[in-house]
Amino acid sequence: MNPLVERGLMFANLIRVDSPAWVGLYNRALEKLTGKTTALAEFHIDLTGLSPEVGDELGDLDYLAPRGGNRQFILLTTEQKTAPMLAADLSVYPAILRRFIAENESQLFSLTARDAVVGEIDDDVWQLAQPADLLDIRKVRITADTTGSHVAEADKLTAMIDRFRSQPDAWWDDVLIAEMIEQARKSGDVTRNPVRLSHTSFDVPDFRAPAFGGVYVIRSAPEPAVVFADPSQQVPLGGVQVMSLSDRNAIAAWLARNGLAEQVTASGGAATAAVLRQKIDFVLVDAATEARIDPGDGSRAALRRAAARLDPAALPPELPGLGAMLRYVETGGDWPVIDSANPAYFYALRATTGPWQGTVNQLIAELAPHDVRTLFLVNKPVFHRLFQTWDAAKQAYVADQLAREYQIDRQGTRAALFGPEPGMAEPDQAGPGTAAAGPRAGAAVPAGPWGPARGDRGPAPRGGPWGAAR
């Protein structure tokens, strides 16, 4: 992973803990959660307070996830919301924890000014013993308090105040008044400075989990589905369609029926052409390094020279389809016939806007593994796993490209890859079946690269870019 770390693509934006006060607060929280402390005087923490340096010291790189328990977290500052999450049991955890911090920022700011905040992310499932347990994860609850229990103490005082205000004879209850005064010494004035945390429960319709070899749960679609990365883990599950990554035609048909994906070439233009060229470059460098051909400095000219030295039989199967799409975008002409039986099919897809968008983009990225830029953006667990299997030449090329192009223009890269964020539309429905298909098969086709709008006037003519496999 050194090429990624050296270029700021891994362990970047972590929060530095280097003051004795912060180290003391962290140790107090760490001891409360794990019974251990760190002797380090300086280290870095992620969104959840997890530190790679502390993990290395303790011999447990995921020490905030007790075996069989919920993921725990330590907050020293609300600025942790800008840090990445190094280990996520569910792909939605980073977004949920950032939202929790943002929606309780004033209270958390007040709490972290005097103590560390510790808590856990509870998914209501004690242990993932079998794939069916994944379907029980529907809501995530976050519980948090300081190591000194300031939130719990404030809740006690709030309950006393409510009792004092509601009971007619409370003015004469000397014991209650004395208890309130003593409790206020611990919690402060909760009427002026409330510390009650709200927005602690979040719905989880869709997510990716590393369990069972990697699995995608997408329930917000009209037809809920579970997709396993490892076919050997695939088991029937009641109420949802079950597929594996090897079921490419079934996944394509499901995406189309539910209106979950669209083609990246729909907008056309220079930006789309640049995206397709980058996809082709990464496919070529993968083929060249596999064939032990030096890709040179990684420039487009060097890659073309390396490709010329490849045995024609060794050319990546994705290349003809990607090349045809690039020619269509740049020069027009006939639409290329790219269906779900074509290796290039998923390279030309992105998720439509909706609650499923993040998880579907992760799924599509894993189905197009040579597009490592998209994989890096949306599915880092799979990217990091694949990165470790590459030789040094490919690792260096990929790290250089990501550092040079993505880091320079993060927002522009995301816009080019995933398009604008339009309002969510009702997904289209098509008939059942798992034949090779394209996005929004049978749906109304707008004017533009798809041709004139047809509405319900009949199916699209054969020969379009998303025709059925022959």
Q: Is residue 241 part of a domain?
A: yes
- Same-domain check for residues 234 and 361: no
Q: How confident is the model at residue 50 (pLDDT cuts 50, 70, 90)?
A: very high
| The pLDDT of residue 339 | 86
Q: What is the pLDDT of residue 98?
A: 94
pLDDT number for residue 274: 82
Residue where the block lists tokens 């090779």: 436
Contacts of 173 (CB under 8 A, 6+ apart): 164, 167
Q: Which residues pair with 119 in a beta bridge?
A: 73, 144
Q: Are residues 270 and 402 in the same domain?
A: yes
Per the model's pLDDT, the better-predicted residue between 302 and 119 turns out to be 119
Q: Which two tokens stand for residue 115?
A: 């103590």
pLDDT confidence of residue 298: 66
Has residue 42 been placed in a domain?
Answer: yes
Q: In terms of Cα–Cα distance, which of 4, 8, 5, 6 is closest to 408? A: 8
pLDDT in tens, 167-212: 777 666 776 667 666 666 666 544 444 456 777 889 999 999 998 9
Q: What is the pLDDT of residue 407?
A: 58
Q: Give the residue from 98, 120, 147 where a domain finishes.
A: 147
Chain-centroid distance of CA 195 in Å reads: 31
Q: Is the dihedral of CA 65, 69, 74, 78 positive or negative?
A: positive
Instruction: pLDDT band for 323, please (50, 70, 90 cuts).
Output: confident
- Mean of all residue pLDDT scores within the chain: 78
Q: What are phi and psi of 75, to 5 degrees?
A: -110, 120
Q: Are residues 238 and 284 in the same domain?
A: no
Mean pLDDT, range 439-450, rounded to an integer: 34
> Has residue 332 been placed in a domain?
yes
Candidate from 53-62, 377-386, 426-435 with smallest mean pLDDT: 426-435
Tally of structural domains, the chain: 3
Helix (H) or strand (E) holding 288: helix 269-290
11 or 454: which carries more pLDDT confidence? Answer: 11
pLDDT value of position 438: 44
Last residue of a domain, which of 398, 418, 438? 418
Q: How confident is the model at residue 362 (pLDDT cuts 50, 70, 90)?
A: very high
Q: 3-state DSSP call for residue 396? A: helix
Instruction: From 189, 232, 226, select the one nearest 213 (Cα to Cα).
Output: 232
pTM more than 0.85: no
pLDDT at position 106 is 83
Query: Tokens 């040079």 label which residue?
Result: 404
Name the strands in the sheet holding 201-203, side by side, starting at the edge strand that comes first in the sequence.
71-75, 117-122, 139-146, 201-203
Question: Alpha helices of 62-212 — where are they, by DSSP H?
Answer: 93-103, 105-112, 150-166, 174-187
Q: Are residues 215 and 101 in the same domain?
A: no
Flag whether 438 is in a domain.
no
Query: 385 and 309, same structural domain?
Result: yes
The confidence score (pLDDT) of residue 91 equals 92
Q: Using the structure block, give the residue that is written with the tokens 């997904």.
A: 427
Domain span including residue 216? 208-248
Same domain, 389 and 296: yes
pLDDT at 85: 93
pLDDT band at residue 377 under the 50/70/90 scheme? confident
As a whole number of angstroms, the distance between CA 460 and CA 442 comes to: 7
Give the residue-averaged pLDDT of 443-469: 34
The yes-or-no verdict on residue 425 having pLDDT over 50 is: no
The pLDDT of residue 186: 63
Q: Is the pLDDT of residue 408 over 70?
A: no
Q: How confident is the model at residue 34 (pLDDT cuts 50, 70, 90)?
A: very high
DSSP string, 240-285: SEEEETT-HHHHHHHHHHTT-EEEGGGG-HHHHHHHHHHHHHHHHH
pLDDT in tens, 113-170: 888 899 899 887 777 888 999 999 999 999 888 776 656 666 666 676 677 677 777 6
Q: Are residues 290 and 229 in the same domain?
A: no
| Mean pLDDT score, 289-312 | 75
319 and 362 co-located in one domain? yes
Which pLDDT value is given to residue 441?
36
Segment 224-270, tens digit of pLDDT: 999 999 999 999 998 899 999 999 999 999 999 999 998 886 666 67
Label the pairing between strands 225-228 and 241-244: parallel
Question: Which of 23-27, 172-176, 235-239, 374-378 has the weakest average pLDDT?
Answer: 172-176
- Examine residue 76 and state whether it is found in any structural domain, yes or no: yes
- Does pLDDT of 82 surpass 90? yes
User: Hey, what are 172's tokens?
Assistant: 């004469």
Say whether both 54 and 30 belong to one domain. yes
Contacts of 312 (CB under 8 A, 6+ apart): none
Q: Per-residue pLDDT averaged across 435-449, rounded?
A: 37
Query: Is 197 contained in some domain?
Result: no
121 neighbors 93 (Cβ within 8 angstroms): yes
**Confidence bin at 434 (pLDDT 50/70/90):** very low
Say which residue the tokens 């320079």 belong to: 408
Q: Look at the chain and count its residues.
A: 470
Higher confidence at residue 436 or residue 383? Answer: 383
Predicted local confidence at residue 374, as pLDDT: 85
How many CB atoms within 10 Å of residue 391?
A: 10
Structure tokens at 10: 């891994």
- CA angle (315 as vertex; 313, 318 as ends), nearest 5: 125
Indicate if 361 and 242 belong to the same structural domain.
no
User: Which of 372, 398, 418 lies at the terminal end of a domain, its last residue?
Assistant: 418
Edge to edge, what strands does the sheet with 215-218 contain? 206-209, 215-218, 225-228, 241-244
Question: Do 98 and 126 sit in the same domain of this protein?
Answer: yes
Rg of the chain over all Cα atoms, to the nearest angstrom: 26
Judge whether 395 lies within some domain: yes
In a domain, 236, yes or no: yes
> Does 361 share its domain with 412?
yes
Cβ atoms of 341 and 466 closer than 8 Å: no
Position 286 scores a pLDDT of 76
Structure tokens at 326: 């690039």
**Side chain identity at residue 25, one-letter code:** L
